[in-house]
Amino acid sequence: MTERIDGHTILIGLMAYPIRHSMSPTMHNNAFAKLGLNYVYLAFDVTNDKLPDAINAIRTLDMRGSNVSMPNKQKVIPLLDKLDPAAEMIGAVNTIVNDNGVLTGYTTDGTGFMQALKDENLNIIGEKMTLAGAGGAGTAIAVQAALDGVKEISIFNAKDSIWENAKRNVEMINEKTDCKATLHDIDDKEDFRKEIADSIIYCDSTGVGMKPLEDLTLVEDPTWFRPDMIVFDTVYAPRTTKLMTVAKQAGVKHVFNGLGMMLEQGAQAFKLWTGEDMPVEYIHDLLFS
């Protein structure tokens, strides 16, 4: 990499805490190297209190932009100059682009999810989705799916601290898009089963299935699934979650973990900064084979 870095190298950041475990620097730096682009991507420990100075540094140092992650995805919004419409609706930003000192916030988690399905030649536009979870990932997925033309979304959430956010998401989707969204209690198992049975896709965005909950799934009964549907878990560690195992037992053909979404959210940000397509297959093989 040192051969690539010179006086013209353009800096892109990742501002979050904790963040040193992130795969994003490896993903982006290998993609820059593969395409011969003179950029470098570095992770910075940035907590909420350091965020204003860190965001201003993007302007001061003429960085091309940055990713932001927790705990900064919402807090960054008032520090930016403009927001992409999806980021405005979702109320979160994961990508900042600096155009001559004007900082625009985007969110690529939702577009990453939709692109991951497109990569598999799967179409959910005009169809019905059942979605478990309405936190950061669930909100991005629901809003982007609704904006892209998914016809109906049944959102299931526990009556926990995220319930009010789930209510807000449903109201916003119904008000601002042509999609019909409804909110359901995840503890109502009969309702949950019925909505999944009517859907082309079931997506779990709760993180149940990820360590330390790797032995759990919100759907335990394979008869809830049809072989012709899509089952998508946003979790990518472990690679095969309990939910995916249940779906495979049901003979579901299209079963995915969150790896495709993770790569594509990065690829969407990469495109915003560089104008180039990330070599997604190359990066996938490099990181995960």
Burial annotation 162-193 (CB, 10 A radius, 16+ → b, else e): beebbeebbebbeeebebebebbebeeeeebe
- Judged by CB under 6 A, how many residues of this single chain contact ligand NAD? 26
Binding residues among 226-245 for ligand NAD as defined by CB under 6 A: 234-236
Distance CA 163, CA 185 (A): 9
The yes or no reply on residue 72 touching ligand NAD (CB under 6 A) is no
**Nearer to ligand NAD by C-beta: 43 or 262?**
262
Segment near ligand NAD (CB under 6 A); pick from 4-12, 173-181, 199-207, 275-283 = 199-207
The yes or no reply on residue 158 touching ligand NAD (CB under 6 A) is yes
Write the DSSP string, 112-169.
HHHHHHHHTT---TTSEEEEE--SHHHHHHHHHHHHHT-SEEEEEE-SSTTHHHHHHH
The yes or no reply on residue 206 touching ligand NAD (CB under 6 A) is yes
| Of the residues 12, 261, 267, 269, which one makes contact with ligand NAD according to CB under 6 A | 261
**Nearer to ligand NAD by C-beta: 212 or 275?**
212
| Of the residues 40, 92, 93, 134, which one makes contact with ligand NAD according to CB under 6 A | 134
The yes or no reply on residue 109 touching ligand NAD (CB under 6 A) is yes
Q: Look at residue 111 and give its three-state secondary structure.
A: helix
Beta strands in the chain (DSSP E): 10-16, 39-45, 65-68, 82-83, 95-99, 102-106, 128-132, 152-157, 180-185, 201-204, 230-233, 254-256
Q: Is position 151 annotated as part of the catalytic site? A: no
The yes or no reply on residue 162 touching ligand NAD (CB under 6 A) is yes
| Of the residues 137, 145, 244, 246, which one makes contact with ligand NAD according to CB under 6 A | 137
Footprint of ligand NAD on this chain (CB under 6 A)?
109, 112, 133-138, 157-158, 160, 162, 186, 205-208, 210, 218, 234-236, 258, 261-262, 265
